Amino acid sequence: MYCSNCGKEIDKAAVVCPHCGVPTENANKDVDNGGFLWGLLGCCIPIVGLILFLVWKDDKPKTAKAAGIGALVSVGCVVFFYVLLFIIGMYGASLNSGY
Model pLDDT for residues 44-54, shown as the tens digit of each residue: 999 999 999 99
Contact 52, 32 (CB under 8 A): no
Q: Which of 4, 40, 32 is nearest to 20 (CA)?
A: 4
* pTM of the complete model: 0.62
Average of per-residue pLDDT across 55-71: 92
Per-residue pLDDT at 69: 94
Q: How confident is the model at residue 95 (pLDDT cuts 50, 70, 90)?
A: confident
Average of per-residue pLDDT across 33-38: 84
Contact 16, 24 (CB under 8 A): yes
Q: What are the beta bridge partners of residue 52?
A: none
User: How remote is the C-alpha of 60 from its chain's centroid?
Assistant: 8
79 vs 7, more confident: 79
